[in-house]
Chains A and B, each alone.
Chain A
Amino acid sequence: MTRGKQQPNSASVDTTEHRINRRTVVHTGVAGAAGLAAAGAMGSIGAFANTGSGSQARAVLSQDAEPVTGGRLRIASTGQPAGLDMHLSGARTVAMIGWNMYEALYTFDAEYETVPMLAEGHEVSADGLTTTITLRQGVPFHNGEMMTAADVVASFERWMPVSSLGLAIEPFFEAITAVDDATVEIRLTSPVAALPSLLARQAQGLSIHPASVLETAGSDQLPNEGYIGTGPYQFVELQADQYTLLSRFADYASLDAPNSGYAGAKAAYLDELEFVPVPDEAARVAGLQSGDYHYLEEIIPDQIAVLGDDPNVAIEILPPRSYGVITLNTAAGLMSDVTIRQAVLACIGVEASGQVTHGEGYFELGPGIMMPQTAWTSDVSAELYNQNDPEAAAALLAEAGYDGTPVRIVATMEDLGDYNAALVAQQQMEAAGFVIELAVMDEATLDENLETDDAWDMSTGAYVFRPDPVLIAAFASCTYDGKWCTEAKRAIMERVLTESEFEARFAAFEELQALWYEEAPAIKLVNNYGVAALSARVRNIIESTHFELEPEFTNCWLTEG
């Protein structure tokens, strides 16, 4: 077992050839694990250090020590969100907009540790079955009501049956009650160590809304007037396909603690946040260059080259925000044979995939199925990662009695990275003796195919950063793409979820990683660095949020332009 790598990753980033003011961030890893509270607050440690030109660029971005109040930050998102109901949608854009106006009981600090936000703290009973959460007092909603335990109970009851995170709690859930206005009690049938992490701020997380609003909406989507939370920005208007506008909430009750990741004080320097859906990549980049937008939700490396050395733009290379995967359909067809899956694992060389999907300088290698900046990083079974061994694959195919039945790879060009990864996998597998049938389709068709067990064998995609393995649907669920659901997996994941001590949870997780490489339900490719494309007028943003997950705009400001 090796945890907490001591050295920067071998694939450190060299970005100087792309831009002068690019900041390179490489993780230094961590030494040792942070202890977890007995309650099982998720433990994770990680630190990023700036190196070389990176530190210089950060200094450039942070040179305005004095915050500037006012202005409207314009963010070019990749698409129009389907409403802003956090409970119902796990879409990234919904999370990016929503968490500026909603808050959760817990959040993640700069070290990815789960810390209170709307909660003041919690206690767990000796048997681990009852968690008593004390709430902060005097926290107003945007509609003027004060947050109480009744609001938390109503939010939880609506959220649990519809959210993938809530569904992870449901099997162990017994009851939630408001003890008094400031206290909530959650009773479980089995200890769930990761409960605070499951209740924390993340995509489709438990955002807290007034009970009065939720009673009206029920399980339907919240109406526009129901987008009410306790966050530093409040909803103003959503014009479909044009913009979503938020404005500063004057009565925001900020925590009296230093800002750290998503945690701590939120100053809300900006008057307004405007999110503009701009689906076309070239249009987003042109808008950034012309000053129409201050931040792009997404930029692909090819477009970074277009920016050249534009002094009005800052490109930030961030720690890994996802890793690529080749998902194998364990439920039916060829890939239900574990030996054939191992043959796929044997023939895949991940470096070529990184080159074509992200380009030199935008990825790193690593066997861990949890991100290297978390305490969960491990190189267990590293010898099975990045084998690039067609002979070994051919031997495994012979052992499995492979008869040349085509492997159906389903892919979409709507995500060029995934598509390119499929092409590379096709080449490498053909070299090992597989017969490949690549089917290209649009995303909605792809999703329908992935739900039909006998329609596909293999697909490419990515797992985005989550600070705890129980938050990754592919691990926590039996019905995620590929349907990896062996007895061994279920037993291990139950331990990851319920063990109370971090060391025990981590040991179980390492077993999960070993099982992942042994059963090969999916093949890990490379860790993909986050890339932030910002106007040079934006200050204090990289430092004040988890940009590699999704940014909050609650502590940044705009200089005069």
Chain B
Amino acid sequence: MTAYIIRRLLLLIPVLLIVGVIAFMLIHLIPGDPTTALLGRDATQEQRATLREQMGLNDPLPVQFVTWITDAVRLDFGDSLFLRMPVTEALFDRVQPTGLLTLYSLSLAILIAIPSGVIAAVRPNSVADRLLMVMSISGAAIPGFFFGILLILLFAVVLGWLPSGGYAGIGDDPVEHFRYMVMPTVALGFSSAGLLARLVRSAMLDVLHQDYVRTAYAKGLGERYVVLKHALRNATIPALTVIGTLLATLLGGTVVIETVFNIPGMGRLVVQSVTRRDFQVVQGAVLMVATIEVLVMLILDILYVYVDPRIRYGTD
């Protein structure tokens, strides 16, 4: 297992190199540069040209790439052209809101989806099953941003219980932090819960019809024990794969939710940086997200081993 983990970690190097090249090429090959965002719409062409020269944007692309990749190897992604701070600092400032929002949403999705999926599978075609599946389809069908706006209208505008948007750090003011995060978490988590619940239901239905489950019942084990101990554990493997994919989806989903709820997270930063053509930030962020994705997939692969002892990697 250790050798496998090391191999997977080493695989990060070519993956990140390829991702880095693609990110660099994409952001530099699309037209536009940061001068409008920096100087304003009324700037003359001379002003833009002068700024472009000052920022080194007139250097040939290969020169810019070599400079960037050489620094990136040392974990120096350069300075944001717009924010005027190191890219690593800008990204780490925004990891907390995005990371916590993703974590809360994923937790909410799991908390809703697994019980719903299990209940629906244990009592197929019952009223509970139909009700839960209608809710899960609704969750999957309603776009997160639309659901978010509805939540804002109800809880911020009409009832005035929660702030319409913004963010407070969990270390600065935990109560405010949760007040700010409730609606985005629900908006993002609810749609993921729908998808996951349907998958858990389907996986559970498959497992509940397996011979070993019938054997467990024949042995006289109680339903709760059979469902939770024997069936659910086996149904968890496909769910784990989906949870891994879901994490990527949620990270992507934060882009929209962070905009709707005005959360200063990575998603919003990346979108704004693309608009501003803040090349260094886009490149750094893409590399960071790619690293997170690869690491999450590695963790999932490791988890498989513990969930299903039949799975083995390598020789150990």
**Within 8 Å of chain A (Cβ to Cβ): is B211?**
no
B47 near A164 with CB under 8 A, answer yes
Identify A90's interface contact among B43, B90, B160, B275, CB under 8 A: B43
A282, B260: Cβ atoms under 8 Å?
Answer: yes
Chain A residues numbered 186-220 whose CB sits less than 8 Å from any CB in chain B = 203-204
Q: Write out the residue numbers on chain A whose beta carbons fall within 8 Å of the beta carbon of B43.
A: 90, 164
> How far does the alpha carbon of A480 sit from the alpha carbon of B42 in the complex, in Å?
8
Partner of B44 from the list A278, A443, A477 (CB cut-off 8 Å) is: A477
B239-293 residues at the A interface, CB under 8 angstroms:
259-262, 264, 268-269, 272, 275-277
Nearest CB in chain A to that of B259: its residue: A280
A164 and B44: CB pair below 8 A?
yes
Please name the residue on chain B nearest to A280 by beta carbon: B259
**A60 contacts B by Cβ under 8 Å:** no
B40 pairs with A444, CB closer than 8 A: no
> Residues 155-175 of chain B: 1 if any A CB is under 8 Å from the residue's CB, otherwise 0?
011001001111100000000
A123 on interface, CB distance cutoff 8 Å: no
CB distance from B157 to the nearest CB of A (A): 5
- Shortest A475–chain B CB gap in Å is 12
Known: A80-B272, A283-B259, A480-B44. A445 touches B31 (CB 8 A): yes
A448 touches B83 (CB 8 A): no
Task: Name the distance in Å between B213's Cβ and chain A's nearest Cβ.
Answer: 49
CB contacts (< 8 Å) of A443 on chain B: these are 32, 36, 275
The reply to whether A82 and B37 form a contact with Cβ atoms under 8 Å apart is yes
Given A241-B269, A278-B165, A449-B31, is A290 in contact with B262 using a C-beta cutoff of 8 Å? no
How distant is A326 from chain B, measured CB to nearest CB, in Å?
Answer: 16
Residues from 411 to 462 in A contacting B, C-beta threshold 8 Å: 414, 441-449, 451, 461
Please tell me if the beta carbons of B39 and A90 are within 8 angstroms of each other in the complex: yes
Q: Are B259 and A444 in contact (CB under 8 A)?
A: no
The answer to whether A292 touches B164 (Cβ under 8 A) is yes
- B28 contacts the other chain (CB 8 A): no
Q: Which residue of B lies closest to A480 (CB)?
A: B44
Contacts of A480 in B (CB 8 A): 44-45
Measured between beta carbons, the chain A residues less than 8 angstroms from B40 are: 89-92, 94, 203-204
| A-contacting residues, B112-165, CB 8 Å | 149, 152-153, 156-157, 160, 163-165
Say which residue of A94, A278, A449, A479 sits within 8 Å of B46 (CB atoms).
A479
Residues of B within 8 A of A92 (CB): 40
Determine if A241 and B47 form an interchain contact, defined as CB atoms under 8 angstroms apart. no
Complex CA distance for A289 and B84, rounded to whole angstroms: 34
Contact yes or no, A445 B30, CB < 8 A: yes
Residues facing B in A280-316 (CB within 8 A) are: 280, 282-283, 286-287, 289-292
> With A278-B165, A283-B152, A444-B277 in contact, is A167–B46 under 8 Å at CB?
yes
A221 touches B (CB below 8 Å): yes
Contact between chains at B163 and A82 (CB < 8 Å): no
In the assembly, what is the distance between CA of A558 and CA of B202, in Å?
57
Q: Could you say which residues of chain B place their CB within 8 Å of the CB of A447? A: 32, 35-36, 48
Indicate if A242 sits at the interface (CB-CB under 8 A). yes
CB distance A241 to B32 under 8 Å? no
Contacts of B272 in A (CB 8 A): 79-80, 241, 279
Q: Does B33 contact A (CB under 8 A)?
A: yes
Known: A80-B272, A445-B30, A449-B31. A286 touches B42 (CB 8 A): no
Q: Point out the residues of chain A lying under 8 angstroms from B31, CB to CB.
A: 441, 444-445, 448-449
Cα(A164)–Cα(B51), bound, Å: 13
Q: How far, in whole Å, are A446 and B36 apart by their CA atoms in the complex?
A: 10
Judge if A400 is at the interface, Cβ distance under 8 Å. Answer: no
Q: Is B178 an interface residue (CB 8 A)?
A: no
Cα of A240 to Cα of B156 in the assembled complex, Å: 25
A500 to B90, CA, bound (A): 51
Q: Is A83 an interface residue (CB 8 A)?
A: yes
Q: In the complex, what residues of B have CB within 8 A of residue A345's CB?
A: none
Residues of B within 8 A of A83 (CB): 84
Q: How far is B81's CA from A444's CA once the two chains are assembled, in angstroms?
A: 14
Give CA–CA (A464, B31) in the complex, Å: 26
Shortest Cβ distance from residue A392 to the other chain B in the assembled complex, whole angstroms: 33
The 8 A CB mask of B46-72 against A (1 = contact, 0 = none) is 111010000000000000000000000
Question: Which residues of the partner chain B approach A449 to less than 8 Å between Cβ atoms?
Answer: 31
Per-residue interface assignment for chain A, residues 211 to 245, with 1 indicating a CB less than 8 Å from any chain B CB and 0 otherwise: 00000000001000000000000000001111000
A162 CB within 8 Å of chain B: yes
In the bound complex, do residue A276 and residue B39 qualify as a contact, i.e. CB atoms below 8 Å apart? no
Shortest C-beta distance, A81 to chain B (Å), equals: 10
Interface residue B303 (Cβ < 8 Å from any Cβ of A): no
B11 at the interface (CB under 8 A from A): no
Asked if A278 and B84 make an inter-chain contact with CB atoms under 8 angstroms apart, the answer reads no
A82 touching B82 by the CB < 8 A rule? yes
Interface string of A173-194 (1 = CB under 8 A from B): 0000000000000000000000
Which residues of A lie under 8 Å from residue B268 when comparing CB positions?
241, 279
Across the interface, which residues of B come within 8 angstroms of A287, CB to CB? 156, 164-165, 262
**Bound-state Cα–Cα, A82 to B278, Å:** 11
Which one of B39, B167, B259, B275 lies within 8 Å of A442 (CB-CB)? B275
Taking a contact as CB atoms under 8 Å apart, the answer to whether B260 and A280 are in contact is yes
**Residues on the A chain within 8 Å of B33, using CB:** 444, 448
CA A280 to CA B166, docked complex, whole Å: 12
CB of B38 within 8 Å of the partner chain: yes
Docked pose: A283 CA to B153 CA in angstroms: 10
* Residues of the B chain whose Cβ atoms lie less than 8 Å from the Cβ of A507: none
Complex contacts, A25 vs chain B, CB 8 Å: none
Interface check B75, CB cutoff 8 A: no
Contacts of B295 in A (CB 8 A): none
Q: Which residues of B contact A441 (CB under 8 A)?
A: 31
Contact A88 B39 (CB under 8 A): yes
Q: Is the CB of A283 within 8 A of B165?
A: yes
Q: Which of B67-95 contact A (CB under 8 A)?
A: 82-85, 90, 93-94
A473 contacts B by Cβ under 8 Å: yes
**Chain A 261-286 interface mask (CB, 8 Å, partner B; 1/0):** 00000000000000011111011001
A91–B35 CA distance with the chains assembled, in angstroms: 11
Write out the residue numbers on chain A whose beta carbons fall within 8 Å of the beta carbon of B160: 290-291
Q: How far is the CA of A82 from the CA of B277 in the complex (A)?
A: 13
Q: How far is the CA of A83 from the CA of B152 in the complex (A)?
A: 30
B32 touching A286, Cβ below 8 Å: no
Contacts of A282 in B (CB 8 A): 149, 260
Residues in A111-143 with C-beta less than 8 Å from chain B: none
The CA-CA distance from A446 to B94 in the complex, in Å, is 29
| A414 contacts across to B, CB distance below 8 A | 275
- Asked if A286 contacts B84 (CB within 8 A), the reply is no
B44 and A479 contacting across the interface, CB-CB below 8 Å: yes
**B83 and chain A: residue at smallest CB distance:** A240
Measured in the bound complex, the distance between the Cα atoms of B44 and A127 in whole Å is 31
Distance in Å: Cβ of B30 to nearest Cβ of chain A: 7
Residues of chain B with a CB closer than 8 A to A289's CB:
156-157, 164
Give chain A residues whose Cβ lies under 8 Å from the Cβ of B38.
82, 88-89
Q: Are B45 and A290 in contact (CB under 8 A)?
A: no
A286 lies within 8 A of B47 (CB):
no
Which chain A residue lies CB-closest to B85?
A: A240
CB–CB A445/B37 < 8 A: no
Give Cα A92 to B34, complex, Å: 16
Chain A, residue nearest B93 (CB): A240
Q: Which A residues fall within an 8 A CB radius of B?
A: 79-80, 82-83, 88-92, 94, 162, 164, 167, 203-204, 221, 239-242, 276-280, 282-283, 286-287, 289-292, 414, 441-449, 451, 461, 464, 473, 477, 479-480
| Known A90-B42, A241-B268; further 10 A-B contacts with Cβ < 8 A | A80-B83, A82-B37, A89-B39, A240-B83, A241-B94, A241-B269, A283-B165, A292-B163, A292-B166, A445-B30
Complex A-B, nearest 6 residue pairs according to Cβ-Cβ distance, in ascending order:
A444-B32, A90-B40, A91-B40, A241-B264, A290-B156, A445-B31
Between A and B, 9 residue pairs with Cβ closer than 8 Å are: A80-B82, A80-B83, A82-B276, A91-B40, A240-B83, A282-B149, A287-B262, A289-B157, A292-B163
